[in-house]
Each structure stands twice: as C-alpha cells, then as structure tokens.
Homo-oligomer: A and B are copies of this chain.
Amino acid sequence: MSKPYTRLDKNDVAVLLVDHQTGLLSLVRDIDPDKFKNNVLALADIASYFKLPTVLTTSFENGPNGPLVPELKAQFPDAPYIPRPGQINAWDNEDFVKAVKATGKKQLLIAGVVTEVCVAFPALSALAEGFDVFVVTDASGTFNDVTRQAAWDRMSAAGAQLMSWFGVACELHRDWRNDIEGLGTLFSNHIPDYRNLITSYAQLTQGK
C-alpha cells in the first residue's frame, strides 16, 4: 500500500518554476534569504546542466508581486514563459498546461513561492492528471514553518514526492562517471562546504 519508488529520469523530467518574483520573495520567511536564493539558483543550474525542459511562469508581474528575478529570466531565455493574467493556480492557465504537456515529460519538478499556493496548487492539479510530481522543497518558500508543514502534508498525502535540490541533482545524475567535473562544479558553486573540500583536495593533489 506504499507509494512505489518513482525515480527521476533525466529523459522524462520537466522543471516548473512558479512565481519566483522580486516582490513575492519578501514574503518568504521559512528559509533564510541567502540560502533560499542559493537553492533556487542551484535548481536553475540543475535544469540547465541536465538540459531539462523548463517552464517559467509569473503572477501579475507588473503589479506589486514584481518581476521574475532577473537571474532566472537570463538563464532560460528560450524557455516558455507564461505571465499569467490572473490565475492563481498556474494549472488553471491553459498556456501553462500546454507548455508543460508540450515537453512530453511525465515527471514534473516543481518549485515556487509561496509553497502552499504557487507550488501546492499546480502540484495537486498535475497529480490529479496523472503526472509524477516531485516538489523541490528547499527551492520553494513560504511565510513560516507552520504553513510549510501543512503544505507538505497536503502534497505528500496526494502523492507528491518531497525532495531537495541536492537529492534531485544526485538522482538525475546517477553516476559520477557521467561527468565528474560537471556535477562537481555544480556542487562547488552552491555548497560552500563542498567547495572547501574540493579546494583543499586540489591544493594537496595538484599543488605538487
């Protein structure tokens, strides 16, 4: 009666980045801003590195919610970009769903702001349509721990798998030998402790 192990397959994954907008980000208080920024950019780098089709969407970006953070816009210049005219659940926007389905992928990585709305609503809708949904929990933010825990419970109970960006990268890559340097660089750029390990190692082995 348990959830079966649906494993991320880089050939069957699309990434949905929902409402990482400059105004909405001021609402996020369950993760420290330095760490949260890093987590979101790490997920973006994963999408780029594994060449995963990525769909961007925003809510009212000309209003107080603010524009998409420029780093994401710049990193995915050719990705479908759906500024929603009003739908709060991105899945209620036909263009968004079309863009998702156009990727032809069955596994969806979803992250966004705020977790219980911009992430949970499309996650629940996608699950209802039979997609495999993986929530990138640490690239999603919300008001506080209480709202996060409630959102996680709702999504998990509906069948979503809760992951973190590091787990996503590892499950997609599967074997370091596929590209040691590529994955190492990704980790070095987003995990200070890992970067330190690599620097110490390099000094001792290459410094000679």
B137 touching A150, Cβ below 8 Å: yes
B89 touching A174, Cβ below 8 Å: yes
A199 touching B2, Cβ below 8 Å: no
Task: Look across to chain B and name the residue whose beta carbon is closest to the beta carbon of A116.
Answer: B167
A34 touching B137, Cβ below 8 Å: no
Given A60-B176, A192-B25 in contact, is the A162-B153 Cβ separation under 8 Å? yes
Q: Is A194 an interface residue (CB 8 A)?
A: yes
Chain A, interface SS category: helix
Contact with B along A99-122 (1 / 0, CB 8 A): 000000000000000101100110
Given A116-B167, A154-B163, A164-B116 in contact, is the A37-B192 Cβ separation under 8 Å? yes
A179 nearest CB across to chain B (Å): 10
A147 touching B120, Cβ below 8 Å: no
Task: Look across to chain B and name the residue whose beta carbon is closest to the beta carbon of A148.
Answer: B146
A89 to B158 Cα, complex, angstroms: 26
B5 touching A124, Cβ below 8 Å: yes
Q: Is A85 an interface residue (CB 8 A)?
A: yes
Task: Look across to chain B and name the residue whose beta carbon is closest to the beta carbon of A89.
Answer: B174
Q: In the complex, which of the residues B66, B137, B178 contacts A199, with contact meaning CB atoms closer than 8 Å?
A: B66
Name 16 extra pairs, CB < 8 A, besides A22-B197, A117-B171, A138-B150. A1-B3, A5-B124, A7-B124, A25-B192, A25-B196, A29-B29, A34-B34, A60-B176, A64-B198, A67-B203, A116-B166, A147-B166, A150-B163, A150-B167, A153-B156, A156-B157
